[in-house]
Chains A and B, each alone.
Chain A
């Protein structure tokens, strides 16, 4: 090996060793800015894949900040009219067949929604990650042909469901193209991937997401397809009241 090659190799090693990545916290802030909005109106499909086949549930949701969310089931006919209301830490569901409103609390929040890979808690936890995690950029990778920053999140406080997470944040669009959720032992529990994106209201937003319970090796996961989304729209106040459940 001649001297030129050695110097080049040394330089590369030094460059890699001292490569500066963007601050993880800043990346999270940018990502939160892309994903969050003051209010949101969203129509989506949840495709639950099981060994016996798949089921599709269509919903329309309204959200306001982190504390208010209202979801109405549009299809299939059997589940049409079911509504869910979240106000801060409380969650209620309304079943039109039984004409009853049920409070979902405690461990019921950890139950799967309609047999999907998502729990009520997963649905409810849309808080900004910067509040709960300390982020550190660990490298860069290509995911779905997009250059991403690899960011490791470590919980800042006790009581955060997943003590560590790993995100692959699109360098250009700041979308988390892949998210991995780890247990206290370091075992990978869940994986989320954004398979398709769309551009709406001048921002990039997920179009199709896939959630997978990694421990269940035969699980085919749950897909979440966003049909339409509107940001910062006017949402009538009554939507976020319990009275709206029975309307």
Chain B
């Protein structure tokens, strides 16, 4: 108990140098929590939203479908006539994909035209808007596509496609809805149209490129390759791992710098307080106790740093997790499924693990210089040698 009290008094007595260390450590502590929370929040949300909006519980792909091969994507479709009985809009949603050229206001651009069942409830997309009455074929796009192709609600565009035999067709379509979500993988470069309309345009009745299914779907479908969420979300998981590794390296660097400052302070303290150490030993304090005293002093840096960090960190981190951080269009231009406002996610486990790591590291760097105390000769140090 005496050691604990003495260590605290010594630390407070060290003045500005001690407080500087405590402030730096508190910043590092808050930054570590923030960065880990940010990665967790962004990628967790990205994974969750992508699953809800695009993949649901998984997809059945047509025999040769390869989403990485946009050049030949027109050829990847097959009949679902044999399994049609299982495909109710709440369990499964057929999607047919074809390349198309969009003509709007004197501009032309290439896009993927995706036919989807408007009544579906498998994915979180407002596909029912495709049932809007219009003099033209109703289509919908995402906000990213609207921005890049300079399109807006109510615009009339011309879609040029080639049917299954390679014959050109061109029809006028009206943009009846602009989706506001941040899932770019169902937005960028895509135009959504009713499946029936696209099948009719391409002369591909009862054919689809892939079928997205909900948890309620429990049928086997021969001729279709099932892709589970582990496979479909692999890219996001890999990206998340890479980014978290990067953040971990940053955290290690920050903590190392803070630990170095405390190590340096401890070394200097032991060097300058040799007479005090000699006196304490001469008065009967064991070397073990003196080492503990200096380790405790170091530990107080961690404890006070963490307390200070929590005092200003908790409100700050809470605000960022509720309000998010607005990266503007920069975040949208990343081409990932995230919006312009990024929300970090903080948990009790995150606070606890960060606290333990900081305490452990600071304890180690405080103990290392204190080891030299065991080699000190009290008589010599009291003589000033």
Q: Which residues of A contact B (CB under 8 A)?
A: 106-108, 110, 155, 158-163, 181, 183-185, 187, 189, 213, 215-219
Contacts of A187 in B (CB 8 A): 158, 170-171
Q: How far is the CB of B103 from chain A (nearest CB, A)?
A: 4
Cross-chain contact of A189 among B75, B163, B166, B168 (Cβ < 8 A): B168
Contact B167 A158, beta carbon cutoff 8 Å: yes
A107-B165 CB under 8 A given contacts A215-B108, A216-B103: no
B152-192 contacts to A, CB under 8 A, are 158, 160, 162-163, 165-171
List the A residue with the shortest CB-CB distance to B71: A107
B97-151 contacts to A, CB under 8 A, are 99, 101, 103, 105-108
Interface of A: prevailing SS: loop
Cβ of B72 < 8 Å from any Cβ of A? yes
Interface of B: prevailing SS: strand
In the complex, what distance in Å separates the CA atom of A155 from the CA atom of B74?
22
Q: How far is the CB of B50 from chain A (nearest CB, A)?
A: 28
In the complex, what distance in Å separates the CA atom of A183 from the CA atom of B160?
9
Contacts of B162 in A (CB 8 A): 110, 161
A216-B107 CB under 8 A given contacts A107-B99, A108-B71: yes
Contacts of B106 in A (CB 8 A): 216-219
Contacts of A189 in B (CB 8 A): 160, 168, 170
Contacts of B105 in A (CB 8 A): 217
Contacts of A158 in B (CB 8 A): 165, 167
Interface centre among B101, B105, B166 (most CB of A within 10 A): B166
For this complex, 19 residue pairs linking A to B, each with C-beta atoms less than 8 Å apart, are A106-B71, A106-B72, A107-B74, A108-B71, A110-B162, A159-B165, A160-B167, A161-B162, A162-B168, A183-B160, A184-B168, A185-B169, A215-B101, A215-B170, A216-B103, A216-B108, A217-B105, A218-B106, A219-B106
List the B residue with the shortest CB-CB distance to A121: B166
Q: How far is the CB of A52 from chain B (nearest CB, A)?
A: 14
Contact A213 B166, beta carbon cutoff 8 Å: no
Contacts of B108 in A (CB 8 A): 213, 215-216, 219
Q: How far is the CB of A134 from chain B (nearest CB, A)?
A: 16
In the complex, what distance in Å separates the CA atom of A162 from the CA atom of B99?
17
Contacts of B75 in A (CB 8 A): 106
Contact B103 A183, beta carbon cutoff 8 Å: no
In the complex, what distance in Å separates the CA atom of A163 from the CA atom of B160?
14
A159-B171 CB under 8 A given contacts A216-B107, A218-B107: no
Q: How far is the CB of A111 from chain B (nearest CB, A)?
A: 9
B46-83 contacts to A, CB under 8 A, are 71-72, 74-75
Contacts of A161 in B (CB 8 A): 162, 166-168
List the B residue with the shortest CB-CB distance to A162: B168
Cross-chain contact of A183 among B71, B107, B166, B168 (Cβ < 8 A): B168
Q: How far is the CB of A102 from chain B (nearest CB, A)?
A: 12
Contact B72 A185, beta carbon cutoff 8 Å: no
Contact A107 B72, beta carbon cutoff 8 Å: yes
In the complex, what distance in Å separates the CA atom of A230 from the CA atom of B74?
40
Contacts of B72 in A (CB 8 A): 106-107
